[in-house]
Amino acid sequence: MRKFILVVLIAAVPFACGTVRADNQFESFAIQQAGKLLANPPLFVYEFQRNMETTTPLPPGKGLGVNYHFLGGILIVPLPDITTAYNISAKVRLHPEGRLYPGLPQLDLVAGRWKCLPAHKLEDSNASPTDSQTKVTNFDVGGHYVAAVVSSSLEPRVRLFWSLKASKLDVDVGLNKPTDVFGTQVQKFRGRLLEKTFAAGLEHTYAENKRWTIEGGYGMKNHLLSAKVAWSGRFLEMGFNIYPESVFIMQPQMNFHVYF
């Protein structure tokens, strides 16, 4: 795999070299992407939440799991993102595969939440409407989700899993006085995004505690597409979230998990 990543990077060099004289093209691209981002900020923020959400099933034999999203980000290099400071997800197995009767799939419930703790650092508790400068009086960004995950074995080492997930994201920003934002006077901004996502994926265990997963999802409310390709070890998960319509299509991530 490392060899393949190296090949990707090497292949990108001639492509990039061919584009060095295309400054205007990239500038135009950047403006277009910035426009997409500003057109729907909650949708952009929701990608961070989608990165921390997990809908893979608990490994066979495990009844409880805790997941922490450590690094994510919009660039090709994993970095701490706005969910890193405080996020947690828990998984609980309600029914192990084949317990009630042979063939009945495993059923897990997943729930998680996050909050952007650094956002509060931007707040100015002494701000008043008479201040000459625009100041942030409150800044609250966070969300939570719940999901049901059903998984069944196709072969001893391959499982197919399905999930249905409900997500909620809230963005609440207050300013000390009305401020011009692209021609509109804004003092408060409250955004909420609700989404229900249907996803299906395949898990391939190739060694003890080592798995590959691929997952595709569709957000039915906002027509959001997503895919995830990930490698998972005993405590670590690394992979890419792919959002075909995003400003940043391929987003790397690193998560920690513990299963009991």
Partner 1 sequence: MKKLVLILCLFIATADVGAVGLESRQFTPYFNMRVGQGAYLPNQGAFFTGANMNLGVGLLSKITDKHVLFALYNLDFRGQAFQFPNTQEFDSKSQAHLFSFEYRWNVGDRWRVRPSVAFGKTYTQTAAAEVWGHGLYDDKSAGLQLAGDYTFPIRQKDAVLTPMISRYVIRFPNYSDILREFRGENANTGLAGGLKDQVLLEFSLGFKYAPWRAKLRFNTVDFKSERVVQASATYGTDKQADSNVILEGGMDAKLWILETSPQIRFVTHKSNQNFLLFQSATDATPAFAGNYYGYKEVSLGLPVFLNMTKNWAASGELDLQKRTYDSRHPRDSQNQFVSGRQSDNMVTLSAGLRKRMNDVSAFTLTYSVTTARSNNKFERYLPSSYTGQGLVLAYQLTY
Closest separation in Å from C-beta 13 to partner 1: 10
Place of tokens 């994201």: 169
Residue 24 phi/psi, 5° resolution?
Answer: -65, -35
Name the residue nearer to partner 1 (CB basis): 134 or 152.
Answer: 152
Name the residue nearer to partner 1 (CB basis): 52 or 230.
Answer: 230
Amino acid residing at 52:
M
Q: At what angle do helices 41-52 and 23-39 cross, to 10 degrees?
A: 90
Amino acid residing at 126:
N
Closest separation in Å from C-beta 23 to partner 1: 10
Closest separation in Å from C-beta 98 to partner 1: 8
Name the residue nearer to partner 1 (CB basis): 206 or 256.
Answer: 206
Residue 16 phi/psi, 5° resolution?
Answer: -70, -40
Name the residue nearer to partner 1 (CB basis): 29 or 256.
Answer: 29
The encoded tokens of residue 222 equal: 């906002």
Name the residue nearer to partner 1 (CB basis): 65 or 201.
Answer: 201
Closest separation in Å from C-beta 203 to partner 1: 11
Residue 52 DSSP label:
H
Closest separation in Å from C-beta 245 to partner 1: 7
Q: Please list the residues that pair with 139 across neighbouring strands.
A: 173
Residues 210 and 7: beta-carbon distance below 8 Å: no
Residues that bind partner 1 (CB under 8 A): 1, 3-4, 7-8, 11-12, 14-15, 18-19, 22, 24-26, 28-29, 32, 97-98, 102-105, 150, 152-155, 158, 160, 162, 164, 196, 198, 200, 202, 204, 206, 212, 214, 216, 218, 220, 222-223, 225, 227, 229, 242-245, 249-250
d(CA 176, CA 183): 18
d(CA 187, CA 138): 11
Closest separation in Å from C-beta 55 to partner 1: 13
Burial class (CB in 10 A: 0-12, 13-18, 19+), 154: exposed
